[in-house]
Amino acid sequence: MTGLAFLLLSLAAPQSPEPGPPADVVAEAERNAEQAAEALRRCQRFTEAWLGLADPETGLIPTNTRKGGDHWSAANSAADNYPFMVLTAAFTDRELMDGRLLEMLRTERRLTNREHGLPDDWSFSQAAFRHDSPGPGRMQFGASEYVKDGLLPLTEWLGPSPWRARMMELIDALWASADHELAGGPVPTDNVEVHGELLQTLSRIYWMTGERKYLDWAVRLGDHYLLTEAHFARSDRPLRLRDHGCEVVSGLCELYVALHFADPAKKEQYRAPLHELLDRILEVGRNQDGLFADEVRLQSGTRRLFGAGARATDTFGYSLNGYYAVYLVDGTEAYREAVLKALGALWRGYRSHPWEGASSDGYADAIESALNLYNREPVESCARWLDSEMAVMWSKQQGSGIIEGWHGDGNFARTSLMYALWKTQGVTAQPWRADLRLGAAMDGDELVLFLSAEQPWTGTLVFDRPRHRDFLHLPLDWPRINQFPEWFTVEADREYRVARGDSQIGEALSGLDLLHGLPLALGAGESSYWVVQR
């Protein structure tokens, strides 16, 4: 007996005298279900609100809700808001994702491609490009932002899709437009932020495609920042450690890890200069709690902080991702200790902290920073901090569903979705409804799932997979900016025992079954919990 028939029978099965999971684990799964449901509801409201602002002619969304928002841009509308509307719909409304949101992708590709196939700003009122002539730097920046901040996270979750195809078009268009000469060959622009984004994307896309050109392009940038006078630790030019500057630090670390597996000799050439950079940042770029300053000059050690009352940058985890990635391949314990120190300080000294002026975007980046690293190092006090700060960020959403009315609203949704996936351990329900509650907690190696619905519901619980391997083909799940961490993942060719939590009746199901979706039905007001064993 398999599938839905087994599960429906299990719901009515008598309780076994054998004990189920501990009551506190079941209670945790139920609490997590409430938090995950709130996260998804808020993301759905965000998506509906921004769809209500779409241009009636093109269907594209504006950059903001204020004066000056009469246009679509790759760097803002496409990079920050749109992708997390798509991802929200992937969880809550697949018809919307495959319909209106996919049509947005087709529209921006048709309307906004310009020189070399790079997108440019589109004016709604003019029904034309916002700028009379192409601006290479502006367009390269927009394409790079769209790829790294938006399309790459979508690809990491969805796998092969039209959004992945658009990502590949844009990364190739960026290098077709390469107009800045370095010793190793031309690269797009001289913008350090773009270079950092490209280092990240190329280090992942190389593994995803297996095409050496992507790694070679990344090495051009790595050589420049590690083997020439552009090395930040050998000059006193400012290194920005918050958003828009820290990308180059984590990008160099991602390249280093990629080379560990793809070209060990080149990796050894980078070892000393990269460690020199990372060590100097730890020495002069942090506060007493191990969190980073806004900006630092590495030779003199002078630091700058952002805004009144701020003691650290909100994107501390973006740089620490890189440190932890290098720790994974080199075993440098000081880099792991840097992560543990930062995570351990959050509950003690950074509740309701004015990240980036106490903006929703600042909270989103700080929570993402911690959550991605908590996935690797589960510091208990950090979990409490994550729950408390999500409540602060959520309080900033307006009744309309809009958060602050600019493209940074998408980061609210991005981080809320990350949080929801933590609370469900990566399990999602299809179809989703606002009255559905799905949460999870771990009892050792066993996954405990809680599910309830106010109205009758029939659907499937879809389990997560090792996406870093299956979709990106990465040799190691190193921490990455804007990724969606993996929690409980299943292997297609392994068997799992699935049983109602208060019963010893269960069935062995394949991982492939769980990836396709575990069928389940609930009556009105019904709740149940389940145990999944590897």
Q: Is the pLDDT of residue 504 over 80?
A: no
| Domain-located, residue 355 | no
Q: Based on the fold, state whether residues 19 and 116 are members of the same structural domain.
A: no
| 505, pLDDT greater than 80 | no
Residue 235 has pLDDT above 90, yes or no: no
Q: Are residues 11 and 110 in the same domain?
A: no
Q: Is residue 30 part of a domain?
A: no
Residue 386 pLDDT greater than 90, yes or no? yes
Domain match, 63 and 7 both: no
Q: Does residue 189 carry a pLDDT above 90? A: yes
Same domain, 319 and 438: no
Looking at the structure, do residues 60 and 20 belong to the same domain, yes or no?
Answer: no
State the CATH number of the domain containing residue 510: 2.60.40.1180
Considering the domain architecture, whether residues 16 and 65 belong to the same structural domain is answered as no
pLDDT digits 0-9 by tens, 295-341: 999 999 888 876 656 678 999 999 999 999 999 999 999 999 999 99
pTM flag (> 0.85) = yes
pLDDT over 70 (residue 5) = no
Q: Do the beta carbons of residue 141 and residue 196 sit within 8 Å?
A: no
Q: How confident is the model at residue 19 (pLDDT cuts 50, 70, 90)?
A: low
Report the range of poorest mean pLDDT among 11-15, 185-189, 473-477.
11-15
Is 15 within the bounds of a domain? Answer: yes
CA 255/CA 381 separation, integer angstroms? 32
Q: Are 494 and 511 in contact (CB under 8 A)?
A: yes
Residues 72 and 201 in one domain: yes
DSSP track, 68-127: T--EE-IIIIIIIIHHHHHHHHHHH-HHHIIIIIHHHHHHHHHHHB-GGG-B--EETTTT
Mean pLDDT, rounded, for 507-524: 95
The pLDDT of residue 14: 38
pLDDT digits (tens, 9 = 90+) for 112-147: 999 999 999 999 999 999 999 999 999 999 999 999
Asked whether residue 357 is domain-assigned, the answer is: no
Instruction: Find where tokens 């050690």 sit.
Output: 301
Q: Which two structure tokens, joined as six digits, stand for 6?
A: 């087994």
pLDDT over 50 at 17, yes or no: no
3-state secondary structure 222-266: HHHHHHCCCCHHHCCCEEECCCCCCHHHHHHHHHHHHHHHHCHHH
The first and second tokens of residue 216, run together, are: 């070679």
- 165 with 16, same domain: the answer is no
pLDDT digits (tens, 9 = 90+) for 149-166: 999 999 999 999 999 999
Is residue 276, in this structure, part of any structural domain at all? yes
Query: What CATH number is given to the structural domain containing 215?
Result: 1.50.10.10
pLDDT of residue 402: 97
Cα(10)–Cα(526) distance, integer angstroms: 14
In a domain, 268, yes or no: yes
* pLDDT score of 67: 75
For residue range 245-259, list pLDDT tens digits in order.
899 999 999 999 999
- The count of structural domains within the chain is 2
Q: Which two tokens stand for residue 221?
A: 């940038």
Note whether 12 and 62 are same-domain residues. no
Same domain, 209 and 296: yes
Helices (H), 376-436: 380-394, 409-424
Residue with tokens 């804007």, as numbered in its chain: 482
Q: Residue 467 sits in which domain range?
A: 3-24+434-533
Virtual CA dihedral for 126, 131, 136, 140, nearest 10 degrees?
Answer: -50
- Which of 299, 320, 339 terminates a domain? The answer is 339
Domain end (from 339, 369, 401): 339
Residues 432 and 41: their CA atoms lie apart, in Å, by 10
Strand positions, DSSP E, 375-483: 428-430, 436-443, 446-453, 457-462
Averaged pLDDT, 377-397: 98
- Asked if residue 407 is part of any domain, the answer here is no
- What burial letters (b/e) apply to 126-135, b meaning 16+ CB within 10 Å? eeebbeeeeb
Among 322, 339, 356, give the residue marking a domain's end. 339
State the residue for tokens 């200069």. 273
Q: How far apart are CA 414 and CA 419, in angstroms?
A: 9
Sheet holding 122-123, edge to edge: 71-72, 122-123, 128-129
For the stretch 68-79, pLDDT in tens is 789 999 999 999
Domain presence at residue 115 = yes
What 3-state DSSP class applies to 449? strand
- β-partners of residue 532 are 447, 498
Same domain? For 14 and 59 the reply is: no
Q: According to the model, what pLDDT value does residue 243 have?
A: 85
CA–CA separation, 93 vs 44, rounded Å?
9
Nearest-Å Rg of the Cα atoms of the chain is 23
Q: Name the average pLDDT for the chain.
A: 94
Q: Which two tokens stand for residue 81?
A: 């808001």
Identify whether residues 10 and 58 lie together within a single domain.
Answer: no
